[in-house]
Chains A and B, each alone.
Chain A
């Protein structure tokens, strides 16, 4: 990030393919960093009768993160959003993530972490999820890529800022407050 780039909010229109220039990672095209950082939006149809099972996983993941707050740290996440919706063509599941690294790079980390925290199990309730997901990284990758809906516009109020930078800024603020206390 260049100096003070964060100070000027930015929007970026993105071509239909999801990238400006095709550049391959280990498993396929890389989606670019935008003012809202890297991310994905995965939309998949839910298998009939599985809504409750998916909703219950909300609690499982809440507990997993509570038990080990740093469990997802390697993924450099900002936010994950999970949504269930039905616009008349059946129940769909939307999984949206915003993070600071290209998805392709840490894909195996993501799959391993999702497995260990129980996140992946929720995908078994979705149409087209590969049966051999525990061992077949390329198949899981293909599933994510097949269901990825790239944004056509992204906006950042503080563009390109990483989660680490935000956490450092907050820590700095806290340290300064403490310093002022000691100065009294």
Chain B
């Protein structure tokens, strides 16, 4: 039986990708329950539901999403018995689970930014805007609003903005992004060839059967959990200078450097064409052909990783082999986010500026989906006996090393420093619209 999602009650955030070019995350604290409830009440009218945003036109200029931490729910007055029904990772928060996730050394929460580990972090409001002018208008409006409501304060903000060149979606290292995203049953979208079969709604939204075909137990009360999702937030600083130095140290020509960059990712940097299908040379047409750019496996097509290294990002984070995982469909997350910090032109030396990605991973079960991806596939050195972590998503403390299978013997590529550092993280609950109204009216 197919369960239809209640699109008019689900926040649009995980279901749509509006034509925004720019965003801001405001991390919020409530000085009092009443102030928090009033803020939610006022904002809940402008939080876009999926049905509305999907039907929207090009004229729409801004999209608002709102999510809460466990401390936020408690501050708003959710009953203790209800709070206890929320899953343990969410109750504990991401920082408390750093050791397990692999966030140690320089990646430890003690070093995280934006006051993200503060006990007083209660909510995040995510604002997407069509352009800079609209973002500034909205931010100003929200700032004015906050000024009139002294019980609600902004702990920190993060500006999200695409970096040039704008002809393809990418992060600061220049890798093309958004090539794979889960498809949900009943949404009328077909999975592209080679992608995972459509997921049951309960893999991402509470109150629906998940891929077991059954309805998992939900946090209480139902009005609060129904149509909600959990978000795992990660902020990762990207050391663009270190990355470019690494490419230069491991490749004599531009072509060789591009090949090394592709080996780390498993796809060619500018087109996303998969190495399994074009191991020697980039193929732009293939990269931009959705019918082909996910249509491959490793088990049969590249068992030893001669094309796509076993330790490359896409081979670790989205395993396609049944011998590695038979429940990949239960590990999926829907990623949303973008780049922050200034663009570093190709020929410019590293200016030391803070730049990177700030991403929310949406799912129904933080432990089974988000935490598994981070703790095992990104950070488990024992993964496939590689003794290394994911080159990008892994929390690498110190020098970077990766094995590239090659005949007659494998090659190790080394960098003086890791290319990324985890600089923030938190768990949020993204409630449905009715749940927001329920929270606003709590006594």
CB of B216 within 8 Å of the partner chain: yes
Whether A26 pairs with B212 at a CB distance below 8 angstroms is no
User: Beta-carbon contacts of B397-416 to A below 8 Å, as 1s and 0s?
Assistant: 00000000000000000000
Is B367's CB under 8 angstroms from A109's CB?
no
Residue A89 at the chain B interface, CB threshold 8 Å: no
Q: Does A26 contact B367, Cβ atoms closer than 8 Å?
A: yes
What residues of chain A lie closer than 8 Å to B382, measured between beta carbons?
100-101
Contact A74 B215 (CB under 8 A): no
Q: In the complex, what residue of chain A is closest to B387 when comparing beta carbons? A: A1
Q: Is the CB of A135 within 8 A of B214?
A: yes
Closest to B87 in A: A138
Assess whether B176 is interfacial by the CB under 8 Å rule: no
Tell me the minimal C-beta distance from A26 to chain B in angstroms. 5
Whether, in the assembled complex, A164 has its beta carbon less than 8 Å from a beta carbon of chain B, the answer is yes
Q: Are B367 and A27 in contact (CB under 8 A)?
A: yes
- Residues of A with C-beta under 8 A to B327: 108-109, 112
Known: A24-B99, A26-B100, A135-B212. A70 touches B217 (CB 8 A): no
Q: Report the minimal beta-carbon distance from B327 to chain A, rounded to whole angstroms.
A: 5
| Residue on B nearest A38 in the bound complex, by CB | B382
Contacts of B443 in A (CB 8 A): none
Flag if A26 contacts B323 (CB, 8 Å).
no
CB neighbors of B among A126-164 (8 A):
132, 134-138, 162, 164
**Is A108's CB under 8 angstroms from B323's CB?**
no
- Cβ of A74 and Cβ of B325 under 8 Å apart? yes
Which residue in chain B gives the minimum CB-CB distance to A30?
Answer: B100
Q: Assess A109 versus B325: contact at CB under 8 Å? Given A23-B99, A24-B99, A137-B368.
A: yes
Instruction: Assess the A164–B375 pair: CB atoms within 8 A.
Output: no
- State whether the Cβ of A58 lies closer than 8 Å to any Cβ in chain B: no
Specify which chain B residues have a CB less than 8 angstroms from the CB of A165 in the assembled complex.
385
Residues in B345-373 with C-beta less than 8 Å from chain A: 365, 367-368, 371-372
B interface majority secondary structure? loop
B17 in contact (CB, < 8 A)? no
Interface residues of B in 184-227 (CB under 8 A from A): 210, 212, 214-217
Q: Which of B217, B324, B380 is close to A135, meaning CB atoms less than 8 Å apart?
A: B217
Query: B89 at interface (Cβ–Cβ under 8 A)?
Result: yes
Instruction: Tell me how far the C-beta of B375 lies from the nearest C-beta in chain A, rounded to whole angstroms.
Output: 7
With a cutoff of 8 Å between Cβ atoms, the chain B residues found around residue A70 in the complex are 322-323
Give the number of residues in B that approach A within 8 Å (Cβ atoms): 29
Q: In the complex, what residue of chain A is closest to B96 when comparing beta carbons?
A: A24
**Chain B min CB distance to A163 (Å):** 10
B323 touches A134 (CB 8 A): no
Please, how many angstroms separate the alpha-carbon atoms of A108 and B211 in the complex? Answer: 13
Contact residues, B307-349 vs A (CB, 8 A): 322-327, 330
Give residues 78-127 of A contacting B (CB, 8 Å).
100-101, 105-106, 108-109, 112-113, 116
The reply to whether A112 and B375 contact each other, CB–CB distance below 8 Å, is no
Which residues of A lie under 8 Å from residue B217 when comparing CB positions? 132, 135-136
Chain A positions within 8 Å of B162 at CB level:
none
| A26/B375 in contact, CB under 8 A | yes
Distance of A26 Cα from B102 Cα, bound (Å): 11
Instruction: Check B121 for interface membership: any CB of A closer than 8 A.
Output: no
A23 proximity list for chain B (CB < 8 A): 99-100
Q: What is the chain A residue whose CB lies nearest that of B210?
A: A135
Kindly state whether residue B275 has any CB partner on chain A within 8 Å: no
Complex alpha-carbon distance, A23 and B99, angstroms = 8
Counting CB contacts under 8 A, is A15 at the interface?
no
Contact of B380 with A105 in the complex, beta carbons under 8 Å: yes
Q: In the complex the two chains form, is B330's CB within 8 Å of A162's CB?
A: no
Q: How far is the CB of B332 from chain A (nearest CB, A)?
A: 13
The answer to whether A162 and B385 touch (CB under 8 A), given A108-B368, A132-B217, is yes
User: Which residues of B have CB within 8 Å of A101?
Assistant: 382
Besides A26-B372, A135-B214, A136-B216, 11 more A-B contacts (Cβ < 8 Å) are A25-B100, A25-B375, A26-B375, A70-B323, A74-B324, A106-B376, A108-B330, A109-B325, A134-B212, A137-B368, A165-B385
Give 3 closest A-B pairs by Cβ, nearest first: A73-B323, A135-B216, A112-B327
Q: B residues bordering A, Cβ < 8 Å?
A: 87-89, 97, 99-100, 210, 212, 214-217, 322-327, 330, 365, 367-368, 371-372, 375-376, 380, 382, 385
For this complex, 19 residue pairs linking A to B, each with C-beta atoms less than 8 Å apart, are A24-B100, A26-B100, A70-B323, A73-B323, A73-B324, A74-B324, A105-B380, A108-B368, A109-B326, A135-B216, A136-B216, A136-B217, A137-B365, A137-B367, A137-B368, A138-B87, A138-B88, A162-B385, A165-B385
Binding site for B on A (CB under 8 A): 23-27, 70-71, 73-74, 100-101, 105-106, 108-109, 112-113, 116, 132, 134-138, 162, 164-165
